[in-house]
Amino acid sequence: MVSSMKSWSRAEIVDEWPGGIGWRLDERLQRTSHALLVDGRVWVIDPVDADGVEERVRALGEPAGVLQLLDRHERDCAAWAAHLGVAHRRAWEGVDETPFERLHVRDNRLWREVALWEPSASTLVCADALGTLRFFRAPGEAIGWHPLIRPFPPRSFGGVQPQRILVGHGSGVHEHATAVLQEALRTARRRIPAALLALVRTSSSAASR
C-alpha cells in the first residue's frame, strides 16, 4: 500500500473548467494529466504527481478511480490509485461502471491506446493520439496527431462533437473544439509533409540546446 507520493517536479494548471482540471509538468515532454468531475465523483486520468496537485484533485469531489489510456503511459497511475484508495483501471481493457465511452485508437501488441468520451459534458480525453505540443502539430494547426497516427487517424473520433479536447501532452482545446477536431481529421494526411518538416526542425532545435 502506498501511503504517500513523492513529487519530483513542479506542475502548472493548464486546463481548468467547472468540471475538472489539467496539470502539466515543467519538463520537455510536458506530460499533462487530468481530473474530471462527473456526477459528483472524480476520475483521475493518466496522472503524474507534483506538488499541490492532490489537494486540488480532492477539492473537486470524491475520488472514483484512476484511468490509464495508453499501455506505455504507466506514469504514476498505480501510486495515485493506492493513495486515493480507488482502482487503477487500464481503459483499453474496459470502462464498465464508469461514465465514459471508449474510442478506439490503436490495439496491437506494440500499441494499445483508447481515448475517452464523456457525453454529459462533451469532453474528449486523449493520451498520445492528439497533442498540442509542436511535436504533434503541422504549422497553423491548433492540435495535431501523433506522427505515427497521422497517416491513419482513428475513425472513432469522427462520431463525437466535443466542447473541449484534453490531451496527454500540452494544453487542451476549450474553444471551437468540434471544428478543431473536424479540421484535424479532414487534413491529417494532406498535412503529413508539413508535419514531418516541422518535427525535424523541432528535433534539430532541441538537439542544439
Tens of pLDDT along 49-88?
988 899 999 999 999 999 999 999 899 999 999 999 999 9
Residue 4 belongs to a domain: no
Each residue's pLDDT tens digit, 123-163:
999 999 999 999 999 999 999 999 999 999 999 999 999 99
Kindly report the backbone phi and psi dihedral angles of residue 200, in degrees, each rounded to the nearest multiple of 5, phi listed first: -65, -45
Q: What is the helix (H) or strand (E) element at residue 161, kind and residue range?
A: none
Residue 2 belongs to a domain: no
What b/e readout covers 105-131, taking b as 16+ CB neighbours within 10 angstroms? Answer: bbeeeebbbbbbbbeebebbbbbbbbb
3-state secondary structure of 115: strand
Residue 114 has pLDDT above 60, yes or no: yes
Beta bridge mates, 16: 21
**Count: domains in the chain:** 1
Could you give the CA distance from residue 72 to residue 113 in angstroms, rounded to a whole number? Answer: 9
Residue 82 belongs to a domain: yes
Residue 6 belongs to a domain: no
Kindly report the backbone phi and psi dihedral angles of residue 35, in degrees, each rounded to the nearest multiple of 5, phi listed first: -130, 120
Residue 120 belongs to a domain: yes
Q: How high does pLDDT run on average in the chain?
A: 92
Amino acid occupying residue 124: L
58: domain range?
11-207
Q: Are the CB atoms for 161 and 119 separated by under 8 Å?
A: no
Residue 171 belongs to a domain: yes
Residue 86 belongs to a domain: yes
CATH code, 134: 3.60.15.10
* Rg of the chain over all Cα atoms, to the nearest angstrom: 17
Residue 1 belongs to a domain: no
- pLDDT (0 to 100) of residue 66: 98
Q: What is the helix (H) or strand (E) element at residue 166, kind and residue range?
A: strand 164-166
